[in-house]
Amino acid sequence: MSVLRLDHIAIVVPQIQEALSFWQEALGLPLAHQEEVLEQETVVAMMPVGESEVELVQPTTTTGGMAKFLANRGAGLHHICFEVDDIESTLNELKDKGIRLINEEPVAGAGGTRVAFVHPKSATGVLVELVERNHDDL
In angstroms, rounded to a whole number, what is the distance separating the alpha carbons of residues 74 and 76?
6
H or E segment to which residue 18 belongs: helix 16-20
- Is the per-residue pLDDT at 138 higher than 50? no
Evaluate if pTM is beyond 0.85: yes
Q: Where are the domains of the chain?
A: 3-132
| Secondary-structure class of domain 3-132 per CATH | alpha beta
Q: How does pLDDT run across 15-45, given as a tens digit for each residue?
A: 999 999 999 999 999 999 999 999 889 999 9
